[in-house]
Structure 1
Amino acid sequence: MKPGKAVRVCVIGDSQVGKTSLITAAATESFPDNPPPLLPATRLGADATPEGVPLIITDTSSRPEDKPALELACLNSDVIILAYDTGNPRTLNRITEVWVPELQRLGVKVPLLLVGCKSDLRPQDQNMQQVVVPVLAKCKEIESCLDCSAKNLIFVSEVFYYAVKAVVHPVAPLFDVHAHNGVGALRPLCIKALMRIFAMCDNDRDGTLNDAELNDFQVQCFSAPLQPEELAGVKKVVAQKMPQGVSNNGLTLPGFLFLHALFIERGRLETTWAVLRKFGYNNELQLSEEALGVISFQRSPDQVVELTREGVDFLEQRFAQFDKDGDGRLSPAEQDDMFACAPSRRGFLSRWAFTTAVDPRATLEHCLLLGHRGDPAPLFCISRPRRAERKSDAPGRTVFQGFAPRAGGVEPAATLIMREVGEGAAEDVLSRTGNAPGAPDLAEADAALFIFDCSNLNSLRTAMQLLHRTAAAAGDALPCVLLAAKDDLGMSPEVEAACAEACAELAMPMPLAMSLSGGDAARIPQQLLSILRSPDGAIPLTPSLKVCHI
């Protein structure tokens, strides 16, 4: 949660269970002899809990006429205290019969704390565990329970400490308390996050954290090293409960996971959350905005984000790390089926180059997830504007984007880094209205590719109409390429003659020919790249451009 943001606590339960007295005792450190029927919202300062977080506590009424206010308070809360009277078993039964079902009906998804008020009135032959275990078995949403006495000021502050803790250090994202017949277990997302952290701290990549690596981890997360006897104590605890958690070299991954499960089971969630947040995770166990917002990818439409040499080197290192058999390919087994097929090293890097061009934050996120440490800014660069590149002899961008408006009779294909522009989106792009969902900005394109059926004259005419309109919309500065598809069927003489005439009129080269059955799919990208590196000859000499040249 954001620093300084108050935790909103809602206290609900039957009438006369002690809700108002509990809140008053927490706020004034005194017991009210004649509490009012209902308190206004009560604010406790940041110094009220060890977490240093302010609280806003809402008292509620169980009267039917106050139900709308009760529902609103529950819906606006960060945590809810379910209060019952320890001297009145009926109020505890109604927790499972009335209050929890009502919260379920409202769709409330916040932590629930079960609090027994008036613990000074609990029968001496009864302890809390005896009465709450059946409730916890029925209501798995309840995260913790405790007794308190507002009259004797016993465990009053602890109630709200645990309420804050349930919000600041929530258990639900980390641990499933009822995973295996009542035996808790780390949740999959938590395991995945801790596995990444373990790998990042395993500097020598031997699958264990030795004493030096454990101390580096401790200093990074908690700003203090462990003493030798403390290190030995940690490993001893793990070895006693999980022998495979410790090896001769240090703490293994199973031991690391076990240690965090132990912290959580013992109520030390703040320890695991401190580790997760230090490595960039938010409460949903996704990389936080703070972690991903360290780089501004702001750019104009004619610029592209690219991986630097350092960025490529980092990805190559990760590729080599996962390529266990050294065959230069990542099989599904080697990287948990990261891609549908086994990509080569070149294919692996090409996919990341594509992702960086269209969604650089996604590449940044995955580089962090793959274990990059330190400032990630050197992994990326933003190209110069296109006009500046074309005027310079210095090497330009290494990633090109092409738009492919589709003419009739041709199935869409994706080659190089191509973005197919459907018929509806094509109109939107050309009119520059930007209303069609997902319609790209024409300024992003390094070239436009017009695909037509080489056996269909109408398909060619449609492609040429699109070409003229696209060239005009782009200010007669966009390289345009014609691609004759289905070349295995042969270009009809009529289409060939019309094509030659159109290309001569526009001073354009004849179309590239493509036949998938003839193996052209691998050749076409290289031809397109060659054109994009020297694009002047591919800019059509439209009538408006001829006027400019006069």
Structure 2
Amino acid sequence: MMSASKFIKCVTVGDGAVGKTCMLICYTSNKFPTDYVPTVFDNFSANVAVDGNIVNLGLWDTAGQEDYSRLRPLSYRGADVFVLAFSLLSRPSYENVMKKWMPELRRFAPNVPIVLVGTKLDLRDGKGYLNDHTSSGVITSAQGEELRKQIYAAAYIECSSKTQQNVKAVFDNAIKVVLQPPRRKEIAMKKRQRRSSHSCFFTYTVIYFERVSAFHNTFNTRAMQPEQLEYQCFTARATGGSCVEVVFIKISAASTSSAKPLDMNH
């Protein structure tokens, strides 16, 4: 096999016992573990071919339990993509995607794309499970897709480690997201509603910085209606050399009437 042209670090996150480690073992060994399953899978690296591209894929597992909450973010450094997993049989793990995991990922890795994964597909779709359990805790495909939209995930995939259904597709999609990221204009439009409620800095044009808290000779306002905003996104280099995402927002003249200038001398 040809040498890989790019290294991709893929980190799996999600509640404990949703099947993250089994999914990784299944993907790397092509078999479902029937014996001991470790709490955390050993880091794995191998050359993988996707759509004619050969990449060196590094897989990092994390423990979802609260005991690891302080150590877990250390694995996020340098991540290119996250596989965020929940169990299709566990509504709490589904709800924790928004309650726990998205706040954590936004804090420690705000610009890293996400592939959302629903695990244990074979059990949800199996006739025997629903006969023995209530359907109230089961997550449907439509609910999974709705969650994908809410968190702006690049893809949503349902898989089964036991049958190996869609397991390869999970990591193929993770690689594709890194190699072929969505166009920035589309990303900016998807984030339009969320960012419209944030503080924006503007003179004639509003400027929103994800990692920069102030901009000289600017004004500040919060009460911005979505229809008054038009986003345009690009990457700039901030003081110190780090890259930050910058969004220019055109604002209607009526919106500036109540804006108060910021005193940049304090």
Q: State the TM-score, normalized to the length of structure 1.
A: 0.31
1:129 maps to amino acid: S
Moved over 6 A (4+): 124-127
1:169 maps to amino acid: Q
Summarize deviations over 1:164-185 as a string: whole Å, max 9, x none.
001010015252363788xxxx
Matched, 1:170 2:172: no
Distance 2:183 2:51 in 1: 21
Distance 1:54 1:14 in 2: 27
Distance 2:18 2:59 in 1: 17
Structure 2 vs 1, CA of residues 48 and 96 (structure 1 numbering), >3 Å: closer, same or farther? same
Q: How does 1:138-537 map to 2 (within 5 A)?
A: 138-140=150-152, 142-173=153-184, 175-176=186-187, 178=190
Summarize deviations over 1:14-49 as a string: whole Å, max 9, x none.
000000011111101100113212111111323477
Structure 2 vs 1, CA of residues 29 and 170 (structure 1 numbering), >3 Å: closer, same or farther? same
Secondary structure of 2:106's counterpart equals helix
Distance 1:31 1:84 in 2: 18
2:167 maps to amino acid: V
Give the corresponding residue for 1:44.
46
Give the corresponding residue for 2:26.
25
Give the corresponding residue for 1:120.
122
Summarize deviations over 1:350-385 as a string: whole Å, max 9, x none.
xxxxxxxxxxxxxxxxxxxxxxxxxxxxxxxxxxxx
Summarize deviations over 1:217-237 as a string: whole Å, max 9, x none.
xxxxxxxxxxxxxxxxxxxxx
Give the corresponding residue for 1:9.
10
Distance 1:133 1:49 in 2: 25
Structure 2 vs 1, CA of residues 98 and 129 (structure 1 numbering), >3 Å: closer, same or farther? same
More helix by share: 1
1:130 maps to amino acid: A
Structure 2 unaligned residues grouped into runs of 5+? 127-134, 194-233, 237-266
Shift of 1:63: 2.9
8 Å CA contact 2:13, 2:20 repeated in 1: yes
Structure 1 unaligned residues grouped into runs of 5+? 182-283, 287-550
Shift of 1:117: 0.9
2:84 maps to amino acid: L
8 Å CA contact 2:118, 2:144 repeated in 1: no
Distance 1:122 1:83 in 2: 15
Summarize deviations over 1:325-351 as a string: whole Å, max 9, x none.
xxxxxxxxxxxxxxxxxxxxxxxxxxx
Distance 2:65 2:192 in 1: 39
Distance 2:84 2:166 in 1: 16
1:168 maps to amino acid: L
More strand by share: 2
Distance 1:96 1:137 in 2: 12
Distance 1:97 1:64 in 2: 14
8 Å CA contact 1:74, 1:108 repeated in 2: no
The structure having more radius of gyration, on CA atoms, is: 1
Distance 1:159 1:151 in 2: 15
Structure 2 vs 1, CA of residues 104 and 28 (structure 1 numbering), >3 Å: closer, same or farther? same
8 Å CA contact 2:90, 2:139 repeated in 1: no
Pairwise CA RMSD of aligned residues?
Answer: 2.8
